[in-house]
């Protein structure tokens, strides 16, 4: 079976979080300026925002949070898949790696992320919660990645900090 | 000492923020500006089509909730032409760059009307790359209606 050529270009959740914090500060400054313009009326510093209500301004800047969460989940997916492939290619002897090889033989490179996570959940009960939390966040990932065309039911609210924690906890758990 | 610092902090903040804004007065003026617009539309711009029965005009109410102002009722103007409806739906007083906004909502799209200085109404033709607003009159209203209604 043809091996995946690993790029080594994947972003870490830490790098994404640093980027988000900087962008977030810039966005807040811009948002504050716009809210000030609303209160004082009639001054338009940026026509992109002309006519927007405060609610629409909130929605506009909420995009940064949504895109960051997608990036964090994509980064975590990359870490999980690279971990999977490394265990397969290196023919490690632990139970998880053996089960991964079986999955790999059956599915090749088109293995579903959920199937990889199920192996972790079934064979390493100690990280069941981390896997469960990440599986829940995958609903958000699918909704974002597929263009948000359906009304989502996540069972909880997600913010970038939550997704960062969920992703990092799982990455750390499977990396030990 | 800490109390004095806080006092000074808020005194400076207030001075920097400028005078207090009478949000209730802003809201009342905004609602009156909407009513004046609807009167101009029904009594002037649409007087003839209303008189000959080709368009029916009705008013409705909607609740708007805005920061600083809170919830309030604002009138909507509904134009009914056969089985097609167009609504002038106020979005809010507190918007970027103008003193109020109404969306003209039809089956085929939405046009934005804004209140400019001296309570003049304008139709937003484009935001980017160049902000273009044309004064609201019979001609621009016709153009806006064509944009949001079925061909």
Report pLDDT digits (tens) over A70-119. Answer: 999 999 999 999 999 999 999 999 999 999 999 999 998 899 999 999 99
Q: Among B33, B66, B96, which would you mutate to test the A interface (most chain A Cβ atoms within 10 Å of its Cβ)?
A: B96
CA-CA distance, B104 to B51, in Å (whole number)?
A: 22
Residues whose CB falls within 8 Å of the CB of residue B80, separated by 6 or more in sequence, listed in order: B55, B56, B57, B58
The mean pLDDT of chain A is 94
Strand B132-135 vs strand B56-66: parallel, antiparallel, or unpaired?
Answer: unpaired
Q: What is the arithmetic mean of pLDDT over A42-67?
A: 91
Predicted local distance difference test score (pLDDT) of residue A109 = 87
Residue numbers in A near B94 (CB within 8 A): 38-39, 53-54
Burial (Cβ within 10 Å: 0-12, 13-18, ≥19) of residue A62 = exposed
Paired strand residues for B116: B120
C-beta separation of B114 from B122 below 8 A: yes
C-beta separation of A73 from A138 below 8 A: yes
- Is some CB atom of chain B closer than 8 A to the CB atom of A47? yes
Query: What value of ipTM does the predicted structure carry?
Result: 0.83
Predicted local distance difference test score (pLDDT) of residue B38 = 98
Predicted local distance difference test score (pLDDT) of residue B14 = 80
Q: Test A53 with B91 for CB contact under 8 angstroms.
A: yes
Q: Among A47, A58, A61, which would you mutate to test the B interface (most chain B Cβ atoms within 10 Å of its Cβ)?
A: A47
CA-CA distance, B145 to B41, in Å (whole number)?
A: 12
CA-CA distance, A77 to B142, in Å (whole number)?
A: 53
Which is higher by pLDDT, A26 or A2?
A26
Per-residue pLDDT of chain B (151 residues; tens, 9 = 90+): 556 798 888 888 887 776 678 899 999 999 999 999 999 999 999 999 999 999 999 999 999 999 889 999 999 999 999 999 999 999 999 999 999 999 999 999 999 999 998 899 999 999 888 899 999 999 999 999 999 999 9
Residues whose CB falls within 8 Å of the CB of residue B119, separated by 6 or more in sequence, listed in order: B33, B36, B99
Closest CA to A170 of A142, A116, A129: A129
Percentages helix, strand, coil for chain A (3-state, rounded to 5) are 75, 0, 25
CA-CA distance, A40 to B94, in Å (whole number)?
A: 10
Question: Model confidence over A109-148: pLDDT tens digits?
Answer: 899 999 999 999 999 999 999 999 999 999 999 999 999 9
CA-CA distance, B122 to B114, in Å (whole number)?
A: 5
Predicted local distance difference test score (pLDDT) of residue B118 = 87
Q: What is the arithmetic mean of pLDDT over A30-49?
A: 84
In angstroms, the Cα distances linking A33 to A45, A47, B82, B97, B98 are 9, 13, 45, 12, 15
Closest CA to A155 of A170, A141, A165, A140: A140
Task: Tell me the two tokens of residue A148.
Answer: 């948000």
Selecting from B66, B101, B130 the residue whose C-beta is nearest the C-beta of A51 gives: B101
The one-character DSSP state at B119 is G
CA-CA distance, B18 to B107, in Å (whole number)?
A: 43
CA-CA distance, A68 to A123, in Å (whole number)?
A: 31
Report pTM.
0.82
Q: DSSP assignment of A86-133, as one string?
A: HHHHTT--SHHHHHHHHHHHHHGGG--HHHHHHHHHHH-GGGHHHHHH
Predicted local distance difference test score (pLDDT) of residue A45 = 79
Predicted local distance difference test score (pLDDT) of residue B1 = 52
CA-CA distance, B45 to A172, in Å (whole number)?
A: 68
Predicted local distance difference test score (pLDDT) of residue B129 = 86
Selecting from B66, B117, B131 the residue whose C-beta is nearest the C-beta of A44 gives: B131
Q: Chain A closest CA to B128's CA: distance in Å?
A: 6
Predicted local distance difference test score (pLDDT) of residue B133 = 96
């Amino acid at each position: 079976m043809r091996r995946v050529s690993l790029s080594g270009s994947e972003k870490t959740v830490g790098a994404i979080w640093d980027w988000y914090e900087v962008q977030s500060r810039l966005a807040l400054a811009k948002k504050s300026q716009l809210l000030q313009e609303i209160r004082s009326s009639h001054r338009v510093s940026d026509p992109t925002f002309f006519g927007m209500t405060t609610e629409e301004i909130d929605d506009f800047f909420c995009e940064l949070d949504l895109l960051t969460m997608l990036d964090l989940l994509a980064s975590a997916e990359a870490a999980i898949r690279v971990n999977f492939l490394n265990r397969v290619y290196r023919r490690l002897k632990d139970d998880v790696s053996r089960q991964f090889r079986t999955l790999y033989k059956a599915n090749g490179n088109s293995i579903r992320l959920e199937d990889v996570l199920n192996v972790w959940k079934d064979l390493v009960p100690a990280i069941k919660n981390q896997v469960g939390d990440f599986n829940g966040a995958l609903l958000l990932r699918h909704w974002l990645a597929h263009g948000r065309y359906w009304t989502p039911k996540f069972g909880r609210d997600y913010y970038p900090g939550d997704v960062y924690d969920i992703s990092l906890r799982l990455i750390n758990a499977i990396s030990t | 000492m800490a109390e004095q610092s806080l006092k000074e902090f808020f005194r400076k903040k207030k001075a920097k923020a400028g005078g207090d804004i009478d949000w209730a007065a802003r809201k009342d003026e905004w609602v009156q500006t909407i009513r004046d617009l609807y009167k101009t539309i029904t009594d002037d711009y649409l007087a003839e089509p209303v008189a000959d029965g080709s368009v029916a005009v009705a008013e409705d109410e909607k609740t708007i909730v805005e920061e600083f102002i809170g919830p309030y009722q604002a009138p909507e103007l509904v134009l009914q032409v056969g089985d097609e409806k167009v609504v002038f739906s106020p979005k809010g007083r507190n918007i970027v760059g103008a003193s109020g906004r109404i969306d003209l909502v039809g089956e085929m799209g939405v046009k934005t009307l804004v209140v400019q200085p001296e309570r003049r109404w304008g139709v937003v033709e484009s935001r980017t790359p160049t902000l273009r607003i044309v004064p609201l009159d019979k001609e621009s209203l016709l153009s806006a209606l064509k944009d949001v209604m079925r061909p």
